[in-house]
Structure 1
Amino acid sequence: MLDDEDLVLQRKTDETKDRRGKTQRDRDRVLYSSAFARLSGVTQVAPADEGPPYHTRLTHSLKVAQIARRIAEHVIEEQNEEAMLAKIDPDSCEAAALAHDLGHPPFGHAAEHRLDELVSEASSTASTDEDDGFEGNAQSFRIVVRLAKRRYDQNGLNLTRSTLDAILKYPWLRGPSSQPERYHKFGAYTSDKEQFQWTRMDRDPDDASKSPNAQIMDWADDVAYAVHDVEDFFRAGLIPLDRLIISNSERERVVSWMLQRAQDLSSAERAAGHFAWTEDRDAALRAAQRLFDDWPVRQLTEPYVGLSSQRATLREATALLIRRYVTDVRLLSENGGVRFAGASTKELRHEVDFLRGLVWYYVIERPELRLQQEGQLRIVSELFEKYYQAAEEGNWALLPVSMKEALEDGIPRARATADLVASLTERQAVVLWGKMSGVDQRSLRDYPVL
């Protein structure tokens, strides 16, 4: 891995006439990467081409980046001394937010879990030294330090340590299955250990805490997910904000489900933090009451049909919530350091959790979405198996150039196959699967360039 002197030497030419700061360049490099552009073709919760224009991973990432930057700027202004100690950098926060979803494969978290199973099984069968499966956050780190290209003589985007550390939501390598919190979620693969250690070299090896910039990025992700996805699905008629505002029984039904879901978590779900909301029923109901008592939220008492008054009210409501969750935050001094605590009160945290719970209750748990996921998992599984088998048998004609190069560079078959499948848009995955399965008989011109 590069040390600081190497980094300066490699950037010397770039910086001759470049007045941007180092982390400003980080932000721009992520924004202009092909991996970031791919996110326009990757689902956030529901496919973007179904019904209303739902957020994609790209539009979600842009909003996370904007929120992260504003939070960083806010704490610098309000708590300048603590922000200086914590090395809060708005550009690092924004760059990390832009990068945080780069590694998510087509079709969302279900496909991520399936790829983890496939890579782990293939690696075990092939007896490779690397057997740490697949994880979207680790894949994001892998992209920016290894897979992305911006110069012919250099792998990765050559980002600063500050930004790389801000990307690490889970700053550890995969742990044993006996430690589910480190087994199911982790920040880097064994093959990227050198880059990971370089990123964390200023920290004690046993320090598994996120950097304050990473904590800001993580909170911004929660806020964008909670507010903008609820907005999406209210517009689509799937989340009945109108009923939730006027009906206590509707709120109680949602809260009851949330509490039960929190009790029934698998170790993987608990590690992922998808259901990390309060198990205090009264606290959750009070959070819902505060949300729906706010003007202009309480004005949304009719199902959404697209009236100009509804559009204006909804925009005011989302602006109010974003402003609250950006400004009601704080840095805390503890143990000789400073950490970003997110929401300044438990009540605000409960509000964000309740909004996230609405997406799970009304959308993600719907049978229709589950049915669709079954077909998507079949596509991911069969693509992985076809490409892995082709590599194993030396069927080079079937492999795209990028995978051939990876194999020639000594990348294990399972990892190279996962890199390929995870780099696809959902449209590319469907087209490739259709051609391989014989369903799609269109011409060579329709073959996606990988």
Structure 2
Amino acid sequence: MARTSGTTPTRPSSPPDPPRAYDDAATERWAPEPDKRPGRTAFQRDRARVLHSAALRRLAGKTQVVTPGSHSTAWDTTPRTRLTHSLECAQVGRELGAALGCDPDLVETACLAHDMGHPPFGHNGERVLAEFAADCGGFEGNAQSLRLLTRIEPKRFVPSPDGDGLVSVGLNLTRAALDAATKYPWTRGAHPTRPGSAKFGVYEDDLPVFDWARSGAPVGRTCFEAQVMDWSDDVAYSVHDFEDGLHAGHITPAALTSAAERSAVWDVALGRYVPQDTDSAELSAALDRLLAQPWWPHGYDGTAVAQARLKDATSQLIGRFCEAAETATRRAYGTGPLTRYAAELVVPRAARHECAVLKAVAHRYVMQRAEQQALRADQRIVLAELAGTLAARAPEGLDPQFRALFETAADDRARKRVVVDQIASLTDTAARSLHARLTGRPTT
């Protein structure tokens, strides 16, 4: 919210127009501003700001699961990126949210923004930066998204509290939009039920805007729109990663009937994607339910007809998972509009298991391939070397925006955070290019 030095601007009050079921507090912005085009809702403005942001465009060059350009087969040349995933997540979330009574622009904004803070090389890069930033507040892609939305992405500036210059307030989104984009509403190590979890949604020096966005919210609880966004994210990436893996030839449907292969998939799911009280019998039943569907892509061979059937299966899976959540939630809360903290999204256990099985299948057959493991190892080396070199030589290597923040930072901790912000903003290609320029060693 403030400069990296920790200075927080004084927030003026603002009385924006509330759209539909959302009150003045939900549509308030940190810094008040007039609408250039009267007649739009506050959430339509939020959606436009995220959609037109440079940070969203940069997701086109960031790894989703498989690194773009790292493939060898004709079917494998256009995998999904963080950008295409975010767009698909937004489509799923907008329709599911609207069906449940949420403002569709608000949910779409949250879906578009949810991955904006992720660094180059996907979760692989996230782990490297978490280790590098351990002594300056850590790193987490969701916390970085909040930081980007409220501080880094240049859209609105306000006078600093001391009157000495201007300070960025990022995209200056509404309170409800920031809250809806927050998957993990707690600081590092403060998970409400799993204190050792690496997941968190805010850095300590971003607490002023976080506390403002969460004003009146139950501690540790996500708003309904954020829950819709979170399930839409799970649905989109589980289904589409499976689709990409099958299309690329890495996943063979027939293998999912093998007892040994199924056991390997259960090991992945139980270790990563399902609650501890899940057993392999539940996962086996979930996969069997999917295999029994008439639209399941048995015998996929890459022909045009098979591709059409696969696309239909993708649509069927998304519809299946969304309908399960919508039906269960309506059964619990009735037919009225569900917004903010008036409800919890209900996702049936069976649907979560089916979704988890798809995630595990993609992980087993795509991410665990030897060539991908070797690539990820190389990515970790590149990013770790880049972080160390950039920290030692900064402000050399910093973009003008981050150079200015580095030069005005209050201490070494704040300066290191600027370095982290710079690296997190890079695409995969830009990270390799900057690494080569600073180290003098070309990367593959």
Output the CA distance in 2 between the equivalents of 1:426 and 1:71: 32
Residue 318 (structure 1) aligns with: 314
**Counterpart check, 1:42 vs 2:62:** yes
Residue 374 (structure 1) aligns with: 377
Cα distance, 1:150 vs structure 2: 1.3
| Kept in 2: contact 1:70–1:326 (CA 8 A) | no
1:182-219 superposed Cα distances (whole Å, 9 cap, x missing partner): 65110010010000000111124xx1011111000000
Output the CA distance in 2 between the equivalents of 1:61 and 1:5: 31
1:34-74 superposed Cα distances (whole Å, 9 cap, x missing partner): 00000000010001223331100000000001100110111
| Kept in 1: contact 2:96–2:228 (CA 8 A) | yes
Residue 407 (structure 1) aligns with: 406
| Kept in 1: contact 2:150–2:171 (CA 8 A) | yes
SS in 2 for 1:188: coil
1:364–1:398 distance in 2 versus 1, CA, 3 Å: closer
Residue 286 (structure 2) aligns with: 287
Output the CA distance in 2 between the equivalents of 1:348 and 1:439: 48
1:96–1:178 distance in 2 versus 1, CA, 3 Å: closer
Residue 24 (structure 2) aligns with: none
Which residue of the other structure, out of 25, 33, 39, is the alignment partner of 2:45? 25
Residue 235 (structure 2) aligns with: 223
TM-score normalised to the size of structure 2? 0.83
Say which structure is richer in helix: 1
Output the CA distance in 2 between the equivalents of 1:278 and 1:152: 49
SS in 2 for 1:104: coil
Aligned residues: 396
| Kept in 2: contact 1:261–1:275 (CA 8 A) | no
Please identify, of 417-426 and 321-330, the stretch whose mean Cα deviation from structure 2 is larger: 321-330
Residue 170 (structure 1) aligns with: 184
1:231–1:181 distance in 2 versus 1, CA, 3 Å: farther
Residue 85 (structure 1) aligns with: none
| Kept in 2: contact 1:74–1:327 (CA 8 A) | no
1:165–1:360 distance in 2 versus 1, CA, 3 Å: same
Residue 387 (structure 1) aligns with: 390
1:425-450 superposed Cα distances (whole Å, 9 cap, x missing partner): 00111111122232349xxxxxxxxx
1:369-407 superposed Cα distances (whole Å, 9 cap, x missing partner): 11111110111111111111113xxxx444332221111
Please identify, of 318-327 and 6-15, the stretch whose mean Cα deviation from structure 2 is larger: 6-15
Residue 136 (structure 1) aligns with: 141
Which residue of the other structure, out of 247, 250, 253, is the alignment partner of 1:238? 250
Alignment of structure 1 residues 39-438 onto 2, 5 Å: 39-49=59-69, 50=71, 51-76=76-101, 88-120=102-134, 123=135, 131-153=136-158, 154-175=168-189, 181=195, 183-204=197-218, 207-244=219-256, 247=257, 249=258, 252-261=259-268, 265=271, 274-276=273-275, 279-297=278-296, 300-305=297-302, 307-330=303-326, 331=329, 332-333=332-333, 338-343=342-347, 345-391=348-394, 396-410=395-409, 412-438=414-440
Cα distance, 1:312 vs structure 2: 1.2
1:96–1:12 distance in 2 versus 1, CA, 3 Å: same
Cα distance, 1:240 vs structure 2: 1.1
Output the CA distance in 2 between the equivalents of 1:3 and 1:367: 55
1:116–1:261 distance in 2 versus 1, CA, 3 Å: same
Cα distance, 1:11 vs structure 2: 4.7
SS in 2 for 1:150: coil
% identical aligned pairs:
35
1:276–1:105 distance in 2 versus 1, CA, 3 Å: farther
Please identify, of 138-147 and 235-244, the stretch whose mean Cα deviation from structure 2 is larger: 235-244
Cα distance, 1:155 vs structure 2: 2.3
Cα distance, 1:228 vs structure 2: 0.7
1:359–1:318 distance in 2 versus 1, CA, 3 Å: same
**Counterpart check, 1:14 vs 2:52:** no
Output the CA distance in 2 between the equivalents of 1:354 and 1:34: 34
TM-score normalised to the size of structure 1? 0.82
Output the CA distance in 2 between the equivalents of 1:8 and 1:43: 32
| Kept in 2: contact 1:69–1:91 (CA 8 A) | yes
Output the CA distance in 1 between the equivalents of 2:350 and 2:87: 27
SS in 2 for 1:295: coil
Output the CA distance in 2 between the equivalents of 1:230 and 1:354: 10
1:210-241 superposed Cα distances (whole Å, 9 cap, x missing partner): 11110000000000011111000100001112
1:401–1:208 distance in 2 versus 1, CA, 3 Å: same
RMSD: 2.6
Cα distance, 1:290 vs structure 2: 1.1
| Kept in 2: contact 1:304–1:310 (CA 8 A) | yes
SS in 1 for 2:343: strand
Residue 126 (structure 1) aligns with: none
Give the residue type in structure 1 aligned to 2:404.
E
1:360–1:68 distance in 2 versus 1, CA, 3 Å: same
- Structure 1's unaligned 5+ residue stretches are 77-87, 124-130, 266-272, 442-450
Cα distance, 1:339 vs structure 2: 3.0
SS in 1 for 2:392: helix
Output the CA distance in 1 between the equivalents of 2:216 and 2:88: 30
Give the residue type in structure 2 aligned to 1:149.
P
SS in 1 for 2:35: helix
SS in 1 for 2:344: strand
- Structure 2's unaligned 5+ residue stretches are 1-9, 16-27, 159-167, 335-340
Output the CA distance in 2 between the equivalents of 1:178 and 1:163: 22
1:95-152 superposed Cα distances (whole Å, 9 cap, x missing partner): 01100101111011121111111111xx3xxxxxxx3211110000100011011135
